[in-house]
Amino acid sequence: MSHDLKADSGWRIWWQLTRPHTLTASFVPVFLGTMIAISYTDIHWPLFFAMLFASMLIQAATNMFNEYYDFARGLDNEKSVGIGGAIVRNGVQPKTVMQLALLLYAISIILGIYICIETTWLLAIVGAVSMAIGYFYTGGPYPIAYTPFGELFSGLFMGMLIVLIAFYIQTGEITSIALLLSIPSMLLVAAIMLSNNIRDLVEDKAGGRKTMALLIGRKRAINVLLGLFISSYLWILALVVIGEITPWALLVILSIKKPIHAIQTFKAHEDPLKVGPAMKDTALTNTIFGFLLGIGLLIGYIL
């Protein structure tokens, strides 16, 4: 939905169309997967950057599909609260938004071909499924975002799967520790989607969505969000305690103010404009947590 009540102009229109603050949800898992791989092999940096840019392009395109279909289904208007709005307030043609999204998909396919040439063509299947999920998240006759499964799909495909692919293209395998360390990424990406759905409860109900937040109610949805946060930190603590990773991974604790503030904000306010900071804090939790975890793994490997 739209980002505030003031229209942007010039390049800002196109920049906001990508929904830039969500792009960390694709950057951080690639970084984390690569940092997990660093103790297994020398990093192939061209593959890292190809994976990074492809993931960010797919994420940006997914955001544009969301912009297009929210407008097409009447969910977006000039008073909508959120971070889109290129169509409803800035006058960008819906067709242009769709064409730009498809262009980003085309570029990501080219990058994907390079990755497959360097690794295995089996990744083409994984990439195709991921891109399909990106489109059908808000596109098609039965959009995933309109169901209770939005958090599940976004967590699995944007969180866990990206970590594992980033690890695999460097090492040629999937190890148990890579799988275990992808769990918090899955939980925190799901948290981003859940926070968005908590904010949009009223608009989503009017628009016919049946998100998990709508089905279980606002109070329970906030408790689920809290559970996702707590589980992410306890998961890393448990891995340290059982000796799977070094104590340096506990650097993630430095990010803990963000989820605390997010929960406090959601509990204190219901107005979509006032809970905007809570959404930002949720996205920053994913960003800072994943970055600190990657740095912790790197320090643990070096030392």
| Chunked mean pLDDT (size 10), the chain, 303 residues | 45 68 83 96 96 92 85 62 53 83 95 96 94 88 89 92 96 96 96 93 83 94 98 98 96 97 96 91 95 96 91
Q: Which of 174, 153, 199, 132 is nearest to 33 (CA)?
A: 174
CA–CA separation, 16 and 227 (whole Å): 30
**pTM given for the model:** 0.88
Alpha-carbon distances, residue 91 vs 10, 16, 84, 86 (angstroms): 12, 13, 12, 6
Q: Which of 170, 46, 77 is nearest to 120 (CA)?
A: 170
* pLDDT tens by residue, 217-255: 999 999 999 999 999 999 999 999 999 999 999 999 999
Contact 137, 172 (CB under 8 A): no
* CATH class of the domain comprising 11-302: mainly alpha
Q: 3-state SS of the chain: helix, strand, coil percent to 5?
A: 75, 0, 25
Residue type, 53: F
CA–CA separation, 193 and 279 (whole Å): 9
Residue 15: the pLDDT is: 66
* pLDDT tens by residue, 49-98: 999 999 999 988 988 888 888 777 766 555 554 445 555 555 678 888 88
Contact 252, 289 (CB under 8 A): yes
**String of b and e for 31-53 (b: at least 16 CB within 10 Å)?**
bbbbbbbbebeeebeebbebbbb
Residue 10: the pLDDT is: 61
